[in-house]
Structure 1
Amino acid sequence: MKTISAVTLDDTDRKMIRALQTDGRMTNADLARTVNLSESACLRRLRALETEGVISRYAAIINERAVGLPISVFVTVTLSSQAEASLTAFETAIATVPEVVECYLMTGGSDYLLRLVVRDVDDLERVHSHELTRIPGVTRVSSSVAMRTVVKRGALPV
């Protein structure tokens, strides 16, 4: 993954980001009105935010339950080695598992923290037994099922 340094943002940039985090389909005209800029100035700033990597992409936020994936599972994974080649091999393999929607390299007792979305316990067992534990170098997998979501923000506090 490309490393991006923090970009200096002014109040207008932050207003634009907050507005787009609320409605990513907002037209440039609506965004310009929201942040009190001309449409051309707004578009120029928007393109700069995209070019600088502040806005990396636009996406729809899908209701997991509505598409039949009501269960979130947090999984810790420990590898037999933390050598760069082992980490890279794991990261390449885990990227192919569609149920893994987030993966973080961690400090502490485990090497990785994953978030999976699954249909049911049978689906979780299949992913655990036929996907995660079969990745070379994986020595320990521990799962915790989320009972309910308490806070889930799609927007960053800018």
Structure 2
Amino acid sequence: MIELDDIDRSILRALQSDATQGAGALGKRFGLSQPATWRRIKRLESAGVIAGRRILLDREALGFGVTVFLGVKLATKGRVSLEDFERAVTAIPEVQAVHHVLGLYDYRLRVVARDLADFERVLRRRIMTLPGVGNVEANVILTEERLAGPIG
């Protein structure tokens, strides 16, 4: 595990809120030179603390007004059925995240759709036809708050 100082944590918080910020702007903000800030960012990337940088898309602006958490319980279990299910479900573009979990369901999926009718189409034609699918439970997201993850 890498040791983080207060400046490292500040840089991580700043990048977490806006990953497009350059080392020069971050350096000015935290009293460092551009090269010193760049070295810190590279060290954090090399250590695996920064796993990547992503652009967050506004699903509603793109026409996807419904997000659903879907619990999926497989009818049959075993190494082959898990791998088959995972391979098939990750090929569905509306499925944004796949989590293999412990509990009542085997998987939790984050699914986006244009509206409820579109979600029903995705559920019936794509998800329910996947290998090994048994029971499903859908939870439609009404509101969502983005919380920043913990930084040491």
**TM-score of the two chains, using structure 2 as the length reference:** 0.91
What is the one-letter code of the residue matched to 1:123?
D
| Aligned match for 1:132, one of 127, 130, 140 | 127
Aligned length: 151
Q: Does 1:18 align with 2:13?
A: yes
What is the one-letter code of the residue matched to 1:116?
V
- Which consecutive residues of structure 2, in runs of 5 or more, have no partner in the other structure? none
| Aligned match for 1:39, one of 25, 34, 43 | 34
Task: Map 1:1-158 onto structure 2 (within 5 A).
Answer: 6-149=1-144, 151-153=145-147, 155-158=148-151
What is the one-letter code of the residue matched to 2:91?
T
SS of equivalent to 1:134: coil
What is the one-letter code of the residue matched to 1:152?
R
**TM-score of the two chains, using structure 1 as the length reference:** 0.88
Give the alignment's Cα RMSD to 1 decimal. 1.5
Moved over 4 A (4+): none
Contact 1:73 1:146 in 2 (8 A): yes
SS of equivalent to 2:150: coil
Contact 1:132 1:141 in 2 (8 A): no
Q: 1:117 & 1:12 partners in 2: Cα distance?
A: 37
Using the TM superposition, give the Cα deviation of residue 44 of structure 1 relative to its aligned residue in structure 2, in angstroms.
1.0
